[in-house]
Amino acid sequence: MKLIKKNSENQSRKTRQKKDIDYVIFHYTGMQSTIESLNRLTKKRHKVSAHYLIDRSGKIFQLVDDLRVAWHAGKSKWKNTTNLNKFSIGIELQNKGHDQNYQKFSKIQIRELIKLSLILKKKYNIKKRNFLGHSDIAPLRKIDPGEKFPWSYLSSKGIGIWYKNLNLKTFKKNDGDLRPLFFKGLKKIGYRYFSLTKKKSTDYKIIKAFQRKFTPNNISGKIDRKTLKISEFLSKIQ
C-alpha cells in the first residue's frame, strides 16, 4: 500500500507508545477538494489534523506519524476514556459533507480504507469494536462520517461492530419503557453524554448519532423498537 507523505504542523511533539493506541476514528473532511482538505489538515493556523487522509481516487496521505498525537477528535468520550486524541489514530475521508452536498463514499476510497484499517488493526492490536466514527465519540457536536458510511460492510471485513437480524415480534415493552433500556444499552456499548435517570434536551442528538450509524434510513432522533433492539444486541458484544 503506497502512502504519500505530507507533514502536518498540527501534532504533538512527544511520541507515544504502541500500547497507547486503542482506537481508530473515522471522519469526513467536509471540504470541497483534496487540496482544500490537505491545506486544512496540515497548516498550523487551522489547529486540526489527522494521521491519514484518503481521497476519492483512493490515494492515501499520511500527515502525522502513528506514534504522534494528531488533533482530530477534539472534546470526546468513549467508555471511560476522554480526550481520544491521545489514544487513537484519526482517518479522514475526502467528502464534501452534509453542509456541501454530502456524497456517497467512492468504492476505491472504501477499499483503501479497509486495507489501511486492517494493517493498523494488526499492528496495534486494535479490537474490532474500537473502530469508531467521530459522531460516536462526540455526538453532541459531530455527525461524521455520516449515514452514507458503509458500517455494515466494514464490519463484515472485521472493522467495527454490527448487528444480526432482529426479531421485533418478541418485543413487548411499552413506549414509556424505551428510554432507560435504550440508554442502558448505549452506556454498555460505550456512548456517553447522557443520564440514565434524567432526560436531557440533547438526548435526541445521541439517538440520531446511533441511528445515523445503525439505522441510516431512519434518523428520527426518537427511540423505536428497532433502535432499542439494536442497542440491546450490540451491548452484549465483548
Q: Label the pairing between strands 77-78 and 3-5.
A: unpaired
Q: How far apart are CA 186 and CA 181, in angstroms?
A: 9
Q: Are 227 and 182 in contact (CB under 8 A)?
A: yes
Active site residues per annotation: 92
66 C-beta neighbours (distance < 10 Å), count: 16
Q: Which of 7, 4, 130, 138 is nearest to 70 (CA)?
A: 7
Q: Cβ-count burial of 119 within 10 angstroms (0-12 exposed, 13-18 middle, 19+ buried)?
A: exposed
Q: What angle do CA 128, 205, 72 make, to 5 degrees?
A: 50
